[in-house]
């Protein structure tokens, strides 16, 4: 998805922040957006910033909402404490590594396209 709220250069105006921001999530579409962002940054002579984000606290909210709903027996079946530990130790750290990898790939693409 490409959203351009206002492009001052087209109207011979001065841009306020000046940078092109692209979000990547590892999908082909997001890397397509990166290529579009690179092209725009080159044509408009603007810096490019690539971001990638996830919510490391999402599982805390999820687990907290479950504590009020699950009975004691259901909590034992769900293995609530083990699931929470799994999320903390593996999933959160794994997601951080995955999203960092998206940024590294983006950096390499930018280098190949001669973008800083």
User: What pLDDT, in 10s, does the model give residues 64-95?
Assistant: 777 778 777 877 777 777 877 777 777 778 88
Is residue 104 domain-resident? yes
- The upper half-sphere exposure of residue 7, i.e. CA atoms within 13 Å in the direction of its Cβ, equals 12
pLDDT(62) > 80: no
Is residue 1 domain-resident? no
Q: Distance (Å, rounded) from C-alpha 18 to C-alpha 59?
A: 36
Is residue 66 domain-resident? yes
Domain extent at residue 56: 8-112
Q: What token pair was written down for 89?
A: 């130790």
For the question of whether the overall pTM of this predicted structure is more than 0.75, the answer is no
Residues 6+ apart with CB under 8 A from 21: 37, 48, 49, 50, 51
Closest Cα to residue 93, out of 54, 67, 47? 54
Is residue 33 domain-resident? yes
Is residue 2 domain-resident? no
Residue 41 backbone dihedrals phi, psi, to 5 degrees: -60, -40
Q: Distance (Å, rounded) from C-alpha 22 to C-alpha 31?
A: 9
| Domains in the chain, number | 1
């Amino acid at each position: 998805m490409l959203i351009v709220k206002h492009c001052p250069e087209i109207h011979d105006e001065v841009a306020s922040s000046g940078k092109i921001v692209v979000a990547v999530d590892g999908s082909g579409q997001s890397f397509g957006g990166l290529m579009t962002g690179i092209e725009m940054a080159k044509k408009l002579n603007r810096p490019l910033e690539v971001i990638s984000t996830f919510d490391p606290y999402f599982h805390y909210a999820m687990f907290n909402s479950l504590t009020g709903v699950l009975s004691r027996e259901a909590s034992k079946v769900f293995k609530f404490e083990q699931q929470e530990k799994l999320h903390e130790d593996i999933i959160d750290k794994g997601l951080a590594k995955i999203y960092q990898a998206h940024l590294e790939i983006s950096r390499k693409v930018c280098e190949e396209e001669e973008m800083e």
